[in-house]
Structure 1
Amino acid sequence: MSRNVLKSSIHSASINIIFQIMCRCITFVINSFVIRIVDREVLGIMNVRLLLLESTLAFLSREAIRRATLSSTANPHEKHIWPHIINQLWLSLPIYCVFSVPCLYIWFNQSIFGSPIADALYDQYKFGCICIVISGIVELLAEPQVFVAQVFCFVKLRVLLDTLNIFVRSTLFITLVLRDPNQAIFAFSIAQVCSTATFAIGYYVYFVYYIDRLNKVKGDKKRAADKTDDGPDTDETKSVSNDSIPFNSVKQMLPGCLENSGTVFNENLQTLVLSFFKQGILKQVLTEGEKYVMTISPILTFAQQATYDIVNNLGSLAARFVFRPIEENSYFYFTQTLSRDIPLKQQPRDKVEQASTVLYNLLKVVTSIGLIGMVFGQSFSKTVLTLYGGSRFIEDDGLSVTLLQWHAVAIVLLAINGICEGYMFAAMRSTELDRYNYYMGFFSITFLFLSYQLTSFLGPVGFILANCTNMFLRIIFSGRYIRKQYQSVDLKPLDGIIPNKLFAITLTVLGITCKILENRLFHHSIWAHIFVGAICFACTAGVWSYENQTLIRSYILNRRKIQ
């Protein structure tokens, strides 16, 4: 595989989307089963309190370092950069351990949180917190391998091990829950540690095998070169020459094991890490702010938190299995294509135009997906919730349908914000990133304030409205940055946000039709309602495909070149 950044990013995003859809379908079935047998208070503890601990530690320890080091790998075959990168990646582990101590103290301390854990569940909860920390440590032990796999586009490896991770966790959790539903938190914790261990071991085993095979090919090439003046010219040796990773053993992925004539850490890289670290704290507040508010304040009980989280997960499906893979790979593409410290007009014109076209097309795709989700979400929220949690789930909580409908509205803003911010973070200079931290602080404070105030008046819907306001402000900021940057080269990638006329008209008409037919079809037959929705969706997708034939042909052409 030749390391073409655009083609590899498209390939990786495509496979990740397919993988995420598959995993979410599996998770959908599992959660639908768990909702029916596990108490909703227990679900609130697992899905809100414990997973909040996991995401908090991950953001504080790993996110900034991973983003900064990605920016240092525009030419990953330069061996002199890897000692600094490997050492920097391994810093995640001690940082994680340092932060885990105060976090565990906070999570164990009942007086800090608004909703205390029942005495009957506290031992399970404490065990769960410890297991979350252990699983994070185990995962970070394979962080260099995960990073190398991403930089050198080992797409199939990542998909395989992520699938194995999901399979182990799901199988263990279901097996243990079926034995005793009252021990669900124990089951959740054990499954988390075992699946993470499988994930980390899988990366080590693969790279031991891969590097061993790579060394054999290099040895054969050297012996053949000794026999002839020109050396071999086979496809296999060309592949190794172009794409071999700069490691002769897995041991070299440990800290301090690669030869380095300079310092242990790179000063510029450290500065970039610090900038992303500041953002990591603020972004965590923006990403998980509602969970922090729910956890610290007594606004919602654990049962209500579970209901909100269940609906939130459903409303975030598009973000998780479509938008997130696109965002991750687009960020990777932009960091490898554009230079942070050089104005666009001084960079190669072909690269700038390609980046502009990619950004335009990305915005076109995610905005269209978001609009489809928003329109059809108004008519099919009740249907989805009935299939997911049963009719009792809707009857028990009248707000669940309203929550999912508002989540559908937020999808559009979520889609646009992810791409615009991802590009901005990939293109900003270190000084600009530092300056943006002040704006992030303003967004964070505004979001937390609105979350608390709106939730006090409107209940869980207030969280969604606060999040919509926050994302709208961030889109305005990142949009202004992108527009100003591309003015100097006379390009307008932000025009991708504007939907095509025929697509917009079709979506509006079919959305109104589905809404009018919703009550009649839902009460008559839920499957008839789904069938009508599928026909309307197919018509909408067909119109979009007709208006974006060039984009589709370009995507297919790049996919064929990769294969």
Structure 2
Amino acid sequence: MGRNILASSLQHASFSIVFQILCRCITFAINAFIVRSVGREVLGITNVRLLLLESTLLFLSKEAITRSALSSRHNKHCTWAQLINQLWITVPACFILAIPCLYIWLNWLSTVDEHYYVQYRFGCFAIAFACVIELTAEAPIFVSQVFCFVKLKVVMDTSHIFIRSLVFIVIVLLNKNITIYAFGVAQIISAVTIIAGNYAFFHMYIPRLMHYRRELKRVDDKYKLREMYGDYYENMDDFPFMSIKEMCPGVLPNPNSAFNPDLQKLVLSFTKQGVLKQVLTEGEKYVMSVSPVLTFSEQATYDVVNNMGSLAARFIFRPIEDSSYFYFTQTIARDATLLNQKRDAVNEACQVLSYLFRVVTSIALVGFVFGQFYAGTILLLYGGADFVEGGLPEILLRWHCLAIVLLAVNGIAEGYMFATNTSQEIDTYNYYMAFCSVAFLMLSYQLTNWLGPVGFILANCCNMSFRISYSLFYIHKHFNEVNTNPLQGFLPRPVFVTVLCVCGIMCKISEAYFSPHSILYHVLFGALCTCLTLLTWCFENRQLLQTGLAKYRERKVSLTGDTN
């Protein structure tokens, strides 16, 4: 591709962070409305049981295929026709998976109160149907990701969450007794939005691209063409599609076999890994659903606190992880040692990985320190006095702040490892993941019986520690052959850590003296300490900020053609 992969990855991360903030703000508002108006039991059914079904179907159906397709873009033996055919396998795969999943969700998992069972049954079928039809848009979504259509992704994701939320709220306001019905209908309509939006974009884009190519041969003033057609038509000589129909399976001309054998092997490896990763990611929800450890009301409390404790992961860490994974897959080849790759690309990847570790670790430490003294205040403002009564939500949120530190490091470390592993290395890691999955489920069940919902968080911390150790060992070994070590910049600088500790002590004093009398003063004091901490970090990491600004300017120059 002609586009700058690093610059596009940075832009994607930035837009994704903004979208995640918008998405979670809307979701938080809806959850607060349900908690205060409808009840925690309904929230437990929708946010734990039904969303677990959606996560299971989508992850197991497409995760392995999408990741392997991204990694195979540099494989000269893999054609676009084979990639499109492979992506469309997600639709029948989801349909086949939906049959046993629906049976399990309706018959095997802990029972739902009879008052909600009919709605719950409809919700399960609605989720399964929405997942199947949503995957029919996987081909254009993949194409937009490969060719760095970042703005398209942001617009589509924002439209998806906005329409889903709007439909849900309108139905619930009309009748609060059909909240679960509203949830299922909103999921189906939002899936239709994803399909229509992505195909409509390429239906309009491809004819304009064809016209742009004809004009490019006739007109010498390329700067004028850029003004007429926009940035999306720059460096698109390798765009392989002449029609929207070619994004359907079997339509794009293909001199080779319908499926690529190497791609199939990689899919198999990622599939085994994906099953284990899904268990680790949603393990506590599976434990809650299979065994009556917690009631739906307690599950809702845990889910609300878990989502609130994972704000940094959803807002910041996940977009950074996704963008860094895309960057490393396009920069470092899987099946070649670093010694046999371009030295400049390897050095840049090493520097980017070191910076990523430092950034996410710093953010996580800020969340950990300030979360200890503002957990109760945030929960009180969110759910009211009844929600925080007993102190359990506050304890859960404080423990989540510790898990965030481990989650931040694990996301980047595993992201690089998954982006550069060979098929054999992925299979080796799958055995380790199997051990982690079994250990995690056993720890979750046992610790929850001993400590209640806190046990889920402690089990997750142990699991994260095991995975981080493996990933860091791999990174050290991988870069050792080129005598570089991105782990040297792993920890934040000492001045930042010192200022953070001092601000933490001051916030503890504020919690004791200001919080009982004025929440506003306590919050303002925390905001002041946060600003001081961030300014210290920016001062200590001037080189990192200058590098990021230089990459941004480089991208602007490449798009506008202005070298001045």
TM-score, normalised via structure 2 length: 0.95
Residue of structure 1 in register with 2:273 after alignment: 279
Residue of structure 1 in register with 2:261 after alignment: 267
The aligned amino acid for 1:218 is R
**Worse-matched range after superposition: 193-202 or 420-429:** 193-202
The one of 528, 538, 549 aligned to 2:521: 528
Q: What is the rounded CA distance, in whole Å, between the counterparts of 1:532 and 1:241 in structure 2? A: 48
Describe how 1:423-438 pairs up with structure 2 within 5 A: 423-438=416-431
Q: What is the rounded CA distance, in whole Å, between the counterparts of 1:211 and 1:179 in structure 2? A: 42
Q: Gaps (5+ residues) in structure 2?
A: 557-564
Q: Shift of residue 428 of structure 1? A: 0.8
The aligned amino acid for 2:253 is E
Native 8 Å contact 2:40 2:297 kept in 1? yes
Q: Shift of residue 389 of structure 1? A: 0.8
Say yes or no: does 1:293 pair with 2:287. Answer: yes
Native 8 Å contact 1:80 1:260 kept in 2? no
The aligned amino acid for 1:28 is F
Q: Shift of residue 512 of structure 1? A: 1.8
CA offsets per residue over residues 199-253 of structure 1, 9 Å max, x none?
A: 210001111000011112223345x2xxxxxx74624668747225210011000
Give identity over the alignment, percent: 54
**Worse-matched range after superposition: 536-545 or 521-530:** 521-530
Say yes or no: does 1:163 pair with 2:158. Answer: yes
Q: What is the rounded CA distance, in whole Å, between the counterparts of 1:450 and 1:189 in structure 2? A: 33
Describe how 1:85-234 pairs up with structure 2 within 5 A: 85-109=83-107, 112-113=108-109, 115-222=110-217, 224=218, 232=220, 234=222
Residue of structure 2 in register with 1:443 after alignment: 436
The aligned amino acid for 2:210 is N
Native 8 Å contact 2:372 2:401 kept in 1? yes
Q: What is the rounded CA distance, in whole Å, between the counterparts of 1:545 and 1:21 in structure 2? A: 22
**Worse-matched range after superposition: 339-348 or 363-372:** 339-348
Residue of structure 2 in register with 1:338 after alignment: 332
Q: What is the rounded CA distance, in whole Å, between the counterparts of 2:97 and 2:403 in structure 1? A: 32
The aligned amino acid for 1:301 is T
Residue of structure 2 in register with 1:59 after alignment: 59
**Worse-matched range after superposition: 191-200 or 232-241:** 232-241
Describe how 1:423-502 pairs up with structure 2 within 5 A: 423-502=416-495
TM-score, normalised via structure 1 length: 0.95
Q: Shift of residue 79 of structure 1? A: 10
The aligned amino acid for 1:23 is C
| SS of 2:198 mapped into structure 1 | helix
Native 8 Å contact 2:371 2:398 kept in 1? yes
Q: What is the rounded CA distance, in whole Å, between the counterparts of 1:457 and 1:531 in structure 2? A: 38
Q: What is the rounded CA distance, in whole Å, between the counterparts of 1:550 and 1:150 in structure 2? A: 29
Q: What is the rounded CA distance, in whole Å, between the counterparts of 2:542 and 2:157 in structure 1? A: 33
The aligned amino acid for 2:352 is V
Residue of structure 2 in register with 1:228 after alignment: none
| SS of 1:142 mapped into structure 2 | helix
Q: What is the rounded CA distance, in whole Å, between the counterparts of 1:494 and 1:542 in structure 2? A: 24
Native 8 Å contact 1:11 1:562 kept in 2? no
| SS of 1:255 mapped into structure 2 | coil
CA offsets per residue over residues 122-151 of structure 1, 9 Å max, x none?
A: 110010001101111121010001111111
The aligned amino acid for 2:129 is I
Residue of structure 2 in register with 1:403 after alignment: 396
Q: What is the rounded CA distance, in whole Å, between the counterparts of 2:532 and 2:43 in structure 1? A: 38
Say yes or no: does 1:44 pair with 2:38. Answer: no
Q: Shift of residue 473 of structure 1? A: 0.6
Q: Gaps (5+ residues) in structure 1?
A: 225-230
Runs of 4+ aligned structure 1 residues displaced above 4 Å come to: 236-241
Say yes or no: does 1:20 pair with 2:30. Answer: no
The aligned amino acid for 1:275 is S
Q: What is the rounded CA distance, in whole Å, between the counterparts of 1:157 and 1:21 in structure 2? A: 18
Q: What is the rounded CA distance, in whole Å, between the counterparts of 1:236 and 1:431 in structure 2? A: 50
| SS of 2:514 mapped into structure 1 | helix
Residue of structure 2 in register with 1:372 after alignment: 366
Q: Shift of residue 116 of structure 1? A: 1.1
Say yes or no: does 1:7 pair with 2:1. Answer: no
Q: CA RMSD in A?
A: 1.6
CA offsets per residue over residues 294-331 of structure 1, 9 Å max, x none?
A: 00011100000000000000011111110011000100
The one of 68, 79, 82 aligned to 2:80: 82
CA offsets per residue over residues 529-563 of structure 1, 9 Å max, x none?
A: 11000000000000000000010111112122223
Native 8 Å contact 1:410 1:464 kept in 2? yes
**Worse-matched range after superposition: 154-163 or 241-250:** 241-250
| SS of 1:247 mapped into structure 2 | coil
Residue of structure 2 in register with 1:227 after alignment: none
